[in-house]
Amino acid sequence: MNETKTIALVDDHTMFRKGLTALINLFPNYKVLFDAANGQDFIKQLQSRNAPDILLLDIAMPGMDGYTTANWVRVNHPEIKVLALSTMDAETAIIKMIRNGAKGYVLKDAEPAELKQAFDEVLSLGYYYNDLVTRKIIQSINALADQKTGINAFVNLTDRELSFLKLACTEKTYFEIAKELFVSERTVDGYRDALFKKLNVGTRVGLALYAVKNGLVRL
């Protein structure tokens, strides 16, 4: 690959973006076209710039997060290859990013050589599935094999709903859960009711059984 390929980097931590930009610019035949603090910033800058070959995208960001940004790119710029770059190694995050259009997933503590390999493979093969991604996908498929709700309901849970679901499996009261999540009891009631609907259950025990079956909590 002799032609220089371009990267856009989206992450809400300025120092991390600048450091990663310097690293990527050392890779042969790659250069960072621009960086952005979140999805909205990326879309705004894209209006006046050429589209990058690869979008290196964080997940947890204020404003427009990685899931929403990846889906926007999938719909509006399918030619851009999205690579997720995150600290989260949970199968929920990995599968949700892939369902929203990501072609690969790299952890932030990966070696530079793996990031370079991800760039190479996503351009040559169209995807980059390392051992982490493959293992997490298989685990989720196995865990969900006997679930009526199926994988769609699993990956469509929001991060806050997942946090509430894990806490609902403890002995904490809903009041205590609200305090831990820094939200009101009414908001917690909203999380509970939304999960009842999404997962087709009607009790806190049902929520706990779902979480255990899908590996979100361990007995």
pLDDT, tens digit, 9 for 90 and up, residues 117-159: 999 999 998 888 777 766 666 555 445 444 444 444 444 678 8
| 217 in Cβ contact with 166 (< 8 Å) | yes
Nearest CA to 53 among 118, 113, 107, 100? 118
DSSP, collapsed to helix, strand or coil, labels residue 158 as coil
Pairing of strands 30-36, 54-57: unpaired
Nearest CA to 21 among 59, 52, 46? 52
Structure tokens at 171: 């002995």
Structure-model confidence comparison of residues 204 and 55, the more confident one: 55
Structure tokens at 161: 């709903």
pLDDT, tens digit, 9 for 90 and up, residues 67-77: 999 999 999 99
